[in-house]
Each structure stands twice: as C-alpha cells, then as structure tokens.
Amino acid sequence: MPRFFTEHANEQEIIITGEDARHIGRSLRMRTGEMLTVCSCGIDYQCEITRITESEVYLHPVEIHPCAAEPSIHLTLYQAVPKQDKLAEIVQKATELGACEIVPVLTSRCIARPDKKEFSKKQERLQKIAVSAAKQSGRGIIPQVHPLHTWKEALASMQKQDLSIMLYEEQGGIRFGEIPFDGQTNIGLFIGSEGGISEDEAQQAVSAGLYRVWLGNRILRCETAPTAAISILMYLTKNM
C-alpha cells in the first residue's frame, strides 16, 4: 500500500498537498475509493481517498494505530563524515534499520573536510534519501538528518542520551552484549570515518561516559560498520 508522511493528521480528514498529491494522482493514478497509508508522528492512518484535485488529495481515516515498524528505542547515529558519497548510503541503511536521527560529525581524522556552509548544500539531498528510505521500509517517522557537527558539539549531544556507544577498532573495548540496555530509551551511536577515531578523541569519549565497543578483529569499512552496529543494537533491544 502506498505510504506518505504528513505533520498534520487527525481522525476526521487528512489532506495531502504538493508533490505527494501530484504523485498520488498523476504517477500512481489512484482514484477515489482506493486506500493508502499516511504516517504522522509514528502513527499509521489507513485512509480511503474521498476526493482528488490537481493539487490536493482528500482522505478519510479508516484505521488508526501505532506504526509497528518503529523501534522501542530512539537511536541517534553520530557518523563521522566519510569521503565521496558514502554518507548517502549510510543515511539510507540507517533509516531502514530504525535510526531516528543522523548527525554528521567532523572529527580530526575525517578525510573529507567540508565546512558547515558547504555541507548544508548536501543536507537537503540526504534528507530526501531519508524520506525515500522511510517510505520504502515502512517507517512511521522520517529520521532527521542534522547539520554538520563538530566533535565537541557531537560529544555534548551524546552526553545527553540515556547511554551512548562508540565503536573503536582497537582492542580494549567491551562487546555489545555487555551494555546494560534495559530501561534505556535514548541511545547514541558514534562511528568513525575511514581513518577511525584518534586516541585523544577516544579518551574524551570515554571520559564523557561513552561505552567503547569492539566488534572483533575484522576491520569494517565506515559504510559497513553502521549497518552492522545498528543491526546488533536493534537485536539486543528486541527490535529485530
């Protein structure tokens, strides 16, 4: 069933406008009486189309229930900026797997070094990728792709989570299974870029209360590590 998002939903009538309305009427060629799903703030509205105009689609909610695809945790991925277009793939896969927010971070070992103004041009495209992935994977929300953060800003944000985790390729960390996830709702996950994370930054993270997690002797690419880590995290929190 086609899936769309809106910030304005109620139990009486929902109106879809703009590009989504044109997509419903022109591309999908949907007609009155057909059904589609509208998502708003983690709630799924199974709706019947009652009227279609050139720029608006009017819907009547038939069934309303929480989105079953949304995890019980609020996961924020803090991803050190990789080179080339790898961040697009990371945003897509993180969205599919259940991340709620994605925070790009500029660390000392990032090879790509955009400034905040330069990165803002990419942010809009990355947000569109999150929208598309959210629709495809049946999410109840669209994850937010944040502006570029410095390491200091990201560390301060991670300290506000119920718990935060840092993947660290050097030995000395604990395994995911040793982290006390019970009762923790807001979780932060930091993953480095191609060059990993410096020892100074790693020590700052540990001092800030982050769990240092080791994934074993295999070194994963920076675009593979988020998929592996989020999958493990979702499994351990009973969301997969």
pLDDT at 24: 93
- For residues 47-76, give the mean pLDDT: 94
Residues 6+ apart with CB under 8 A from 99: 75, 76, 77, 143, 230
**What is the DSSP code (8-state) at residue 29?**
-
Please check whether residue 71 is in contact with residue 239, taking contact to mean a CB–CB distance below 8 angstroms: yes
Least confident piece of the model among 78-82, 137-141, 214-218:
214-218
157-182 pLDDT per residue, tens: 999 999 999 998 776 789 999 999 99
Domain boundaries, the chain: 3-66, 74-236
Please check whether residue 44 is in contact with residue 62, taking contact to mean a CB–CB distance below 8 angstroms: no
Cα 118 from Cα 212, distance rounded (Å): 31
Same fold, 3-66 and 74-236: no
The percent of residues in the chain predicted with pLDDT above 90, rounded, is 77
- For residues 60-87, give the mean pLDDT: 95
pLDDT exceeds cutoff 70 at 151: yes
pLDDT at 161: 97
Under the banding of pLDDT at 50, 70 and 90, the label for residue 117 is confident
Q: How many CA within 13 A on the CB side of residue 68?
A: 2
Fold classification of 74-236 (topology level): Alpha/beta knot (3.40.1280)
Q: Where are the alpha helices (DSSP H) in 60-150?
A: 86-97, 116-137
Reading the block at residue 103, the tokens are: 């925070």
Please give the mean pLDDT across all residues of the chain: 93
Fold classification of 3-66 (topology level): Ribosomal Protein L25; Chain P (2.40.240)
179-230 pLDDT per residue, tens: 999 999 999 999 999 888 899 999 999 999 999 998 888 888 989 999 999 9
pLDDT at 131: 95
